[in-house]
Structure 1
């Protein structure tokens, strides 16, 4: 089915639908409904296939946005998934969490509503998982080299996947008790359900990536030991230190930094008895 070259003139932008409030009040699941492939085809056809696609410049990953929009518009989802994964290891993450600077850069946004690029991206990734197109990529040969990755956030996981697919033996070290870094303990469930993360971690494990949790480099293992046991080390560190802001009341007793509160809220998903944080004034935080 050919994409409609006049789609941007025929179709209006349609943002993803939110789940009914009555349902959202009863759980912590994602706010938006699952993508509709039929609507994804329509939204993808709004892409004008610009001569100079500024969405490339707006995307930090350099995603090939017009290419996979064209493929989705032609109902070629498997090919669209291949093009999307060519520049993005985890489109199911960015399709939910990215602030979509590509849409701000969209040429159509000059005088109309921008293409729903993020929605199409999420639609591609979810369709690919639904049809089983996202499979482990196991290298045919091993290089015999070992790489340590410190930190299991999105950058550490992406590095782990690329290195493992190149044939290296990869070990990811994480100081928390579960893998994922910010994706696990910094992103609320309503933004991205942890099942989405676990689904991708299963693929990395099948590709040969080894995960070691509750290991603090510098305490449990020193850097000298890493240098002896591994041929290279990737430092993919995050930061849990809050950045203070100079506004009145920011130093009040009842103010908690986000990264002090969010891990508590996320841990409660696994440990219902986990107590919420308590402020200096002894108040519990909702």
Structure 2
């Protein structure tokens, strides 16, 4: 364990964030990590409790409690506290593929389930993880390790997001020849174009991809499977195909005036911003310009928050964020005890920046859009909002958010970003491979399995489980790799 009395001696301390009014002027990561010595003190707070929920990754109350990767958290916290960085790195990589990603973008399910969280502040596990992996990169511990023996088997992975990369890494480690196909111009999928640069700088992805190439994985960009390359071609050329294309079918807002100019899906807005940043540092102007405009984001969650932070950096004069549901409580309710996921109000970086810049929280709860209003040129100029209330549906018996009659309000708005979630996999891909889909349009498999309805075709990540977290995508990729390996070799040691 860490220091036996560490959780009593040391207060939780985390990386210092640049002030909101300073960081909105750039798209770089804005946290300064603690010194090694201070991070070791934070690792000392780990209690090595009898039941380490931090690494459990089990479902409690319908939500995950602890790390889905079952990271050996108490072990590497102890090793970090004792300054055993190489051993800590070795234990971390027993269960993980990309700690440099999750230590930046994961909502830290491990910390929410930490026993210290019961009567105080949790261990800073996410930042301890970042210290271990970044020290490993800095000291040369992370290096290419190509397999010594090749099996002669070939696998095509479609999609280079976290699940695709994890699948590829594991199968390559086993000795199979893996080729990853990506429809965009750069590798990374959601990591590249779905997560803004200030949360995950893209050289972090490039660093890992370079290592994977050195280990023998081939990456093919600008390859849209089902359009540029047929499913039949892949199935003829490769022994197995793994579909890791994400849940990239955005949920729309069906309201009058939806065809107005100035309404975009969040995923398109974020992608255009990051691509322009990477291509030309915005000099090509191939992004959605928010300068001097009022931006309305429809939807909460990480994507909605990312749209708020990105809009501010692009010069929006005001940002509004609509959330259909009521504001969550500031502290756990009695029916939401530890170690369940805390269903509490979270003010994220984008909202912090909006409060600092505009003087108010951008979120408007229990509200949606009933109509988009455009001018004679078809441009969005206003939106009609309506308040919502929870009411039981007589037919289904379920509680529904329904409009309150007479609560309409018209506001001026120039740009709308729809961040209302995703509806599952994209039809042209599932049609190309003729795989069965379920009622949520995710690729269907037997429970807990990764083999699709089509022989030799597997699936993983959001395409399989629906819109989720990076850490779940990595877990899915690792599990799918095991299933593919077993189907190829008759057994698996992954």
The match for 1:52 is: 51
- Counterpart CA distance in 2 for 1:85 and 1:183 is 20
Is 2:263–2:415's contact at 8 Å kept on the other side of the alignment?
no
Instruction: Report the more deviating stretch, 274-283 or 235-244.
Output: 274-283
The match for 2:270 is: 262
List runs of 5+ in structure 2 lacking aligned partners.
57-65, 291-377, 381-413, 418-494
Root-mean-square deviation (CA), in Å?
2.3
The match for 2:432 is: none
Is 1:56–1:64's contact at 8 Å kept on the other side of the alignment?
yes
- Structure holding more strand per residue: 2
Question: What secondary structure sits across from 2:32 in the alignment?
Answer: coil
Q: Offset of 1:28 from its aligned partner?
A: 1.0
Question: What secondary structure sits across from 1:218 in the alignment?
Answer: coil
Q: Deviations over 1:211-261 (max 9, x none)?
A: 001111112111111111111111111133212468x99958444321010
Is 2:2–2:45's contact at 8 Å kept on the other side of the alignment?
no
Q: Offset of 1:37 from its aligned partner?
A: 1.6
Which of 359, 379, 386 in structure 2 is aligned with 1:281?
379
Is 1:43–1:120's contact at 8 Å kept on the other side of the alignment?
yes
2:131 aligned with 1:123, yes or no?
yes
Please say which structure displays the higher CA radius of gyration. Answer: 2
Instruction: Sort the Cα spacing of 1:252 and 1:147 in 2 relative to 1 into closer, same or farther, 3 A.
Output: same
Q: Deviations over 1:124-155 (max 9, x none)?
A: 11111111111112111110111000000011
- Counterpart CA distance in 1 for 2:197 and 2:256 is 29
Q: Offset of 1:274 from its aligned partner?
A: 3.8
| 1:192-231 matches, cutoff 5 A | 192-231=200-239
Q: Offset of 1:285 from its aligned partner?
A: 8.3
The match for 2:189 is: 181
Q: Offset of 1:270 from its aligned partner?
A: 2.0
2:91 aligned with 1:83, yes or no?
yes
The size of the alignment, in residue pairs, is 284
- Structure holding more helix per residue: 1
Q: Deviations over 1:47-93 (max 9, x none)?
A: 00011101112111111100100100111111111111111100000
Is 2:12–2:121's contact at 8 Å kept on the other side of the alignment?
yes
Q: Deviations over 1:139-198 (max 9, x none)?
A: 111101110000000110011111111111110000001111011111101001001111
Write out the 4+ residue segments of structure 1 that deviate beyond 3 Å after TM superposition: 20-23, 248-255, 282-286
- Counterpart CA distance in 1 for 2:263 and 2:21 is 30
Which of 156, 164, 167 in structure 2 is aligned with 1:148?
156
